[in-house]
Structure 1
Amino acid sequence: MFSINNELKTKLTDLNGAIARKYSPILNNDFDMKTFLEENIGSIIKLEKLSDRELSKIKDKGGIVAVDGSTNRKGGSFPHYIELYQGLAKSTNQDVEDVYLTDIYTPILSEIKENPLQDEEETDEKNRRLAQIEVKTALQSVKKRAPYALVMDGGLIRYTIYAKELWKELVEYCLLNDVILFGTIKDIKTKIIGEELKSKYKDLKGPLYDREILFGLLQYKEMLTIYDELNKKEQSGFSSGFIRSSLSPNVVGIDIIEEQKNLLFDMAKLILTLTPENSRGVPLFLDIVDKEVKITDDLIEALLERYLDKDIYERLFVSERDKRNL
């Protein structure tokens, strides 16, 4: 059995109490959250899965292409590390070839003598490289063979921040070629509902995230749309919603470009159709792409050991922590 420090037990108990107090106003049985949502946030609608006939039409129109990216890092602190990036575009139509794009970055080859980046700036640089390779992968795939729809793994707003010009090119191409462009968000970080709650109930303090508020609230196959005037993403050209796409109490998010917002419900139904009922709520096809594109610790280590000289690899990219014998 684990030996648990009494002080740690006390701190965890206190933490539990503090969290319970924070959420008590919205977890109160007397508070009808669904009514609040429909009066202040958006509409709750019931979705139906697409029929086999509808799915067959989608296949005939080019199928669905899903895009995801992955990155991993090996080494220690600046500049002794190397980052690998990989993007994958995969079609539901088996006759369409997968598109892989890769990128590598290490400060070792940079002319910068000292690390000018703080942690936040380093994160921005990583996000920029990942977003760009994802959009480049998407562009190459749709230009090879335009699909019915292109789904990005994650929210779309990050592409307008970290890959602005490439994103504009992708949007323009999709619009010209009638490709529906949307994103499916597994890890929801927005606070739209929480901010509206706090504006009306002054006793609520601190950040309240949509993910935690919607946990177990929507019924299976229900979708909550977001009024444009509340949706900060609308300013960047997107319409959004939340879907409970499985029996799991979690919801997933959906973004679609503003020019195609009339197709938001259709894409929500597509997400629902592609998601196994007893899963965690993520379309199975996206999980497949996520698994195939992932650069694991074992993979990056094997690649560096195989393609870098042993002296270069150990001198530059093996940290002291990696050398420890446990």
Structure 2
Amino acid sequence: MYSLSNQLKSKVTNLNDLLKEKYESILDLNREDLRKFINTHIGEIKKMDKLDNGHLALYESKGGIVGVDGSNNKIGGAYPHFVEAYQALAKSTTHKDQPLILADIYSPLYPEQEESPLEEEERVIEDKRNIKLSTIEVEAALASIERFKPYAILMDGGLIRYNIYAADKWIELRQRCEEEGIILVGVIKDIKTSIIGDTMKKINPSIDECFYDRELLFGQLDYGEMILIRDEVNKKEPEGYSSVFLRSSLAPSIIGMDIIDSQREYMEDMARLVFTLTPENSRGVPLWLDIVDKEVKISDEIMKALMERYMDRGIYERFFVSERDKRSL
């Protein structure tokens, strides 16, 4: 095994020192002072109680909970010689043995109707990936309404990305949920907002750094606490969402949760549901969504088996086996 180079060690040490310097004021911030700031300017910090079995049984009797997640993976080499596969899964707590799966593929070598051959540049591939994955997830959620008639749908990730990448289908899903009384929720494992930091900068212009909610809230909430984010500071509110942060496990990190604004009356109940479904010694994600995530995953092994079994060997090797993959170890 090769040893680490001194240059790499130096670079990592330097990054560590820069982050310590940048976050010195935050790391030294008194916990009670920060919590007071949050209560005053961001939203109320509230303690959650787990739902009892009676509540959970009631939800099951009303159709249960559907978890929705998507996955994608790519095989091949550099643009345009690759195939990307997309898969979405909607799984119901009341119909555990009836997974609803949708799938799609994409390759720049076979352009879709609205495209011209090889006109795409590499920089737009990420947008296409987001569009395809978001669209197939929303379509799975819509199909789950027809099949399962659920009480609530938990989407893996923030809801705002569907506005951006799957607008037409998202509007259809939102309207169906509102019309049929199905609660629509997004559970965000890796929050990327800066609500607290931006509010700090607005109040104190001398702050010129950008601080994210993930780092500011690390270890600041007690297990089972949530922050009901006020609409006036929530950047998602103009897009039609209400949001909370919550600490749903013993891990010091937090997760986020979105709900469509017309259903904000269910926000606390849904936060309690997420809290109830999350094992305390986990990373903070509801167990049902974790199960969906694992079942929908498209691994490298699955991609390779798919191509080798259902594509002519000559076509596969000519177009989608990279030189790197041909190297013998």
Counterpart pick for 1:286 among 272, 284, 289: 289
How far off its partner does 1:104 sit?
Answer: 1.0
The answer to whether the aligner puts 1:226 opposite 2:258 as a matched pair is no
- Aligned ranges for residues 180-191 of structure 1 at < 5 Å? 180-191=183-194
The equivalent residue for 1:16 is 16
Structure 1 residue 158 and structure 2 residue 161: aligned? yes
Offset, 1:14: 2.0
Runs of 4+ in 1 over 4 A off after TM superposition: none
Give 1:236 shift.
Answer: 0.7
Candidates 116, 119, 125, aligned match of 2:120: 116
**TM-score w.r.t. length of structure 2:** 0.95
Query: In the aligned structure 2, how far is the partner of 1:122 from the partner of 1:13?
Result: 35
Counterpart CA distance in 1 for 2:273 and 2:205 is 39
Structure 1 segment 27-46 matched on structure 2, within 5 A: 27-30=27-30, 32-46=33-47
Work out the CA distance in 2 between the residues paired with 1:282 and 1:167. 23
The alignment status of 1:125 with 2:128, answered yes or no, reads yes
Measure, in 1, the Cα distance between the counterparts of 2:4 and 2:207: 33
Q: Does 2:72 correspond to 1:68?
A: no
CA contact (8 A) 1:78 1:115 kept: no
How far the C-alpha of 1:115 sits from its partner, in A, is 4.1
* 1:88-124 residue CA offsets vs partner (Å, 9 max, x unmatched): 00011136722100011111112634343242x2111
What residue number does 1:171 align with? 174
Shift of 1:256: 0.1
Question: For 2:116 and 2:99, how far apart are their aligned partners in 1?
Answer: 37
| Maintained 8 Å contact 2:109/2:117 | no
1:138-192 Cα deviation digits (max 9, x unpaired): 1011112311101100000000111111111111111111100011000111111
Percent identity reads: 52
1:193 aligns to 2:196 (yes or no): yes
Match of 2:56 in 1: 55
Report the aligned-residue RMSD: 1.5
Please state whether the residue corresponding to 1:225 is helix, strand or coil. strand
In 2, the alpha carbon distance for the partners of 1:35 and 1:43 equals 10
**Distance in 2, Cα, partners of 1:72 & 1:227:** 37
The one-letter code of the counterpart of 1:153 is: D
SS at match of 1:143: helix
**Structure 1 pair 100/16, CA: closer, same or farther in 2 (3 Å)?**
same
Please report how far the alpha carbon of residue 209 of structure 1 lies from its aligned counterpart in structure 2 after TM superposition: 1.2
Is 2:251–2:281's contact at 8 Å kept on the other side of the alignment?
yes
The answer to whether the 8 A contact 1:48-1:221 is kept is: yes
SS at match of 2:43: coil
Do 2:110 and 2:117's aligned partners in 1 also have CA atoms closer than 8 Å? no
Cα distance in 2 for residues equivalent to 1:159 and 1:192: 20
Partner letter of residue 112 of structure 1?
A: S
Normalising to structure 1: TM-score of the pair? Answer: 0.96
Q: Distance in 2 between matches of 1:274 and 1:160?
A: 27
Instruction: Identify unmatched segments of 5+ residues in structure 1.
Output: none
**Structure 2 residue matching 1:49: 3-state secondary structure:** coil
Q: Give the conservation status (yes or no) of the 8 Å contact 1:79–1:107.
A: yes
Supply the AA of the counterpart residue of 2:138.
V
Of 127, 148, 164, the match for 1:145? 148
Q: Within 1, Cα distance between the matches of 2:303 and 2:192?
A: 29
Could you tell me whether the CA contact under 8 Å between 1:25 and 1:204 is conserved in 2? no
Q: What is the CA–CA distance in structure 2 between the aligned matches of 1:233 and 1:301, rounded to whole Å?
A: 39
Distance across 1 between alignment mates of 2:5 and 2:143: 55
**Equivalent residues of 1:26, 1:33 under 8 A apart:** no
Q: Supply the distance in 2 between the matched residues of 1:2 and 1:322 (Cα, whole angstroms).
A: 23
Q: Distance in 2 between matches of 1:61 and 1:5?
A: 60
CA distance 1:222–1:310, change in 2 (3 Å): same
Q: Which amino acid aligns with 2:118?
A: E
- Flag structure 2 segments of 5+ consecutive residues without an equivalent: none
Deviations, residues 64-108 of structure 1 (Å, cap 9, x unaligned)? 000000111111122211111101000111367221000111111
Report the secondary structure of 2:200's partner residue. helix
3-state SS in 2 of match to 1:7: helix
Maintained 8 Å contact 1:75/1:318 = yes
Distance 1:113 1:17 in 2: 49
